Amino acid sequence: MSEVLTEKRGVTAAPGSAKARIERAALILFVEKSIEGVSTKSISQYAGVSEGLLYRHFKSKADLSRVLMTTIHGRLTKLVRQHMNQPLAAAVSDIVRDYARLADEDWPLFAFHLLNMHRFPNLSDDGPLRAAAELVRFNQSAGRLRNGIAPDLLASMALGVVMQAAQSKLLGGNIGALSDHTETFERAVLAVLEDA
């Protein structure tokens, strides 16, 4: 690949740093070609750094992909957890808005999460789904949602409203910016939660 990345934003690293360029190059290439379809050499070339410098920051391609995944997974989990003490409709509105904004602001990072979540099964112990299930369970206990439906199922269905639209966008669907659809997403999530 003779092209060199011009994006300065990293994922965990300071913008413009060599580590940031490595992270961004890997992210873009992993989304375009898959983790297996990319070598550390192609990542370093695209980032405009030596392969040795890549290895100074990351032990391996697997380490690099894990750092990217744990970072986006942690951000999405935090987005859900920070709204736990709000009334249900406000929590849904804020979570939907925050998810959509994150997807729109850093689509390659969001797309990487969509494409590769299955590769990191250990992250499911504490992630956005677990946090959303806790939110559902809390609202069921408080009498704001009906009991009898497993919180994990309801949380999966609710998160799926936004995530499935993002998946459609990833596959070429004419979705546009997810933030343009937050009101529709909010209504759908509340319908899932309240009408299930």
Confidence of residue 3 (pLDDT cuts 50, 70, 90): confident
pLDDT of residue 10: 92
List the domain boundaries for the chain: 1-58, 68-195
Q: What is the pLDDT of residue 5?
A: 83
Model confidence pLDDT, tens digit, residues 55-105: 999 999 999 999 999 999 999 999 999 998 888 999 999 999 999 999 999
Residues 109-121: tens digit of each pLDDT = 999 999 998 888 7
CA distances from 8 to 4, 16, 90, 151 (A): 11, 4, 35, 40
At the fourth CATH level, which superfamily is domain 1-58?
A: Homeodomain-like (1.10.10.60)
Three-state secondary structure string covering 34-59: CCCCCCHHHHHHHHCCCHHHHHHHCC
**Residues 144-188 pLDDT 10s:** 898 889 999 999 999 999 999 999 999 999 999 999 999 999 999
Record the pTM: 0.90
CA 134/CA 130 separation, integer angstroms: 6
Residue 91, both tokens? 């929590």
**What topology is assigned to 68-195 in CATH?**
Tetracycline Repressor; domain 2 (1.10.357)
Q: Of all residues in the chain, what percent are helix, strand and coil, respectively (each to 5)?
A: 70, 0, 30
pLDDT interval class at 40 (50, 70, 90): very high
Residue 1, pLDDT above cutoff 60:
no
Q: Please tell me if the domain spanning 1-58 has the same topology as the one spanning 68-195.
A: no
Q: Count Cβ atoms within 10 A of the Cβ of residue 134 and give its class: 0-12 exposed, 13-18 middle, 19 or more buried.
A: middle
